[in-house]
Chains A and B, each alone.
Chain A
Amino acid sequence: MAPALIVARRELAAYFATPVAYVFIVIFLVLSGALTFTLGNFFARGQADLIPFFSFVPWLFLFLVPALTMRLWAEERRLGTIELLLTLPLPQWQAVLGKFLAAWAFCGIALALTFPLWITVNVLGEPDNGVILSGYIGCLLVAGAYLAVGAAVSALTRNQVVAFVLAVAICFVFTAAGSPVVGEFLDARIPGIGGGRPRHLGGRPLWGLHPRRRLGPRYHLLRQLHGLLPLRECRHPRPPQGGLGA
């Protein structure tokens, strides 16, 4: 087994050895369910799909994923176990990847546990399950993107509260960058940066990109909700890399 997977397995077991895992999963399930049924008008919409659920998940992850990543490296430093882990014979990137994979698998488990919603729509109607699968994959990619940010921030500080607040703030910028309000605000300051007007209304990309769209993980997710899973989107989350030794 690759060292990264051994590290990931240990990490994942550590989540479940502490209340962190259970608190995370319960809060995620309660909030995602509650928001979908109340604010999302799950029944009243009269449509057999999970779009209300998928559109809340990025906002829930915005707070829950940093809660998961804040201890990722900060805790290793506090306990001194970083000295143990990084003096074992494995390349540093394998340790980084292992921790990332464990947190990602954990988010996958939390998402998988929302399966009753999927059963519900299948009982009540005939949803397009391909679109739903694509939505779940999208959510997982959003989690991966937030995890990458959170893990990097956690490596920078010994203090878990600082790691949490910084990660939420940075992820919020990325998430909000996908919403029209922020896009227009950015456009008003620096023409083009917010993504501008749509191309057919004369908007021009800046440096060949629509930055607002590129920046926001929600944009990528929403595209997928309409059944689009272009391979290009797969590049979106990237595990963090870089020096961690003191």
Chain B
Amino acid sequence: MAALIEIERLTKRFGGFTAVDDVSFTVDRGEVLGFLGPNGAGKSTTMRMLAGFMPPTSGTARICGADVVDQPVAAKRSLGFLPEGAPTYPEMTVTGFLGFTARIRGFRSSEADDRVARAMRMTQLEGVRLQSIETLSKGFKRRVGLAQALLHDPPVLVLDEPTDGLDPNQKHEVRELIRRMAPEKAIVISTHILEEVDAVCTRAIIIARGRVIVDAAPSVLEREGRSLEEVFRELTLGAPKQEAA
């Protein structure tokens, strides 16, 4: 069977600026891919194209075999996506918001309630279930976004900085969660926290200026006793200087 995520020669240009340049990779079931790179490298842009939000300038992306441009609904059904910054509707309550995404995903009343309850349990949101999202703290807002992505137990998860703004306990919880889910899913997470890569990822891709520089297991990157941070700095600073976007 083909890999759950297939990205082929994906390119995105904004005017004359190339944000993502000929990126190709696949992610199989059981893999957790850490997507690393300096600010403005093109991580979020790649994820947006993979999630079917931005049409690529060229190249293709497939989720569970469904092309995100030609069969967008089928592709999105197999996908749990946490957009950058975890956007949510601020005036809704946590249950109201999760219920909305559950109904859009086609769950009927009682099953939708079960799904919402389960997603809230996984992300420890039960304490704030009836609070409106705008009154939540940053970490809780992010957890609401995460709950929305996990709600339908999708085979593919694309999470843009899932642990940004979480306290150390929650970071630990989310990593545990990802590790637990990993065997049945293909997961892509972008992060700036390099120890997270060691903790949960089976594979790391470093991109800079829209291009893939390295695609290897974290243990391979770290051989000869170097830390991942040293490798990251060497590879991304060694690359030609980033122009201002």
Contacts and interface: CB of A to CB of B under 8 A. Distances in A.
Interface of A: 1, 3, 6-7, 10, 13-14, 17-18, 79-81, 83-84, 86-92, 245-246
11 contacts: A6-B103, A13-B92, A17-B92, A79-B90, A83-B51, A84-B87, A84-B88, A86-B53, A87-B81, A89-B73, A246-B54
Given A83-B48, A87-B81, A246 B103 contact: no
Interface string B149-181: 000000000000000000000000000000000
A3 B88 CA distance: 18
Please name the 5 residue pairs, one residue from A and one from B, whose CB atoms are nearest each other, closest first. A80-B87, A89-B76, A17-B91, A83-B83, A89-B77
A87 B44 CA distance: 14
A70 to B, nearest CB: 17
B232 interface: no
Nearest to B145: A84
A88 to B, nearest CB: 5
User: Most chain-A CB neighbours within 10 Å: which of B81, B88, B89, B103?
Assistant: B89
B76 A14 contact: no
Size bin of chain B's contact surface: 20 to 34
Contacts of A86: 52-53
B76 to A, nearest CB: 4
Interface string B27-56: 000000000000000000000100111110
Contacts, number: 69
Interface of B: 48, 51-55, 72-74, 76-77, 79, 81, 83-85, 87-92, 96, 100-101, 103-106, 145, 148
B228 to A, nearest CB: 29
Given A83-B48, A83-B53, A88-B105, A18 B73 contact: no
Contacts of B52: 86-87
A87 B53 contact: yes
Contacts of B84: 80, 83
B19 to A, nearest CB: 12
A1 B99 CA distance: 14
A88 B104 contact: yes
Contacts of A1: 103
A91 B77 CA distance: 11
Given A245-B54, A246-B53, A246-B54, A90 B85 contact: no
A185 B81 CA distance: 55
Given A87-B53, A88-B76, A245-B54, A18 B91 contact: yes
Contacts of B148: 84
A18 B46 CA distance: 35
A164 B55 CA distance: 28
A83 B72 CA distance: 14
Contacts of B54: 245-246
Contact of A87 (B83, B88, B89): B83
A222 B201 CA distance: 67
A84 B89 CA distance: 10
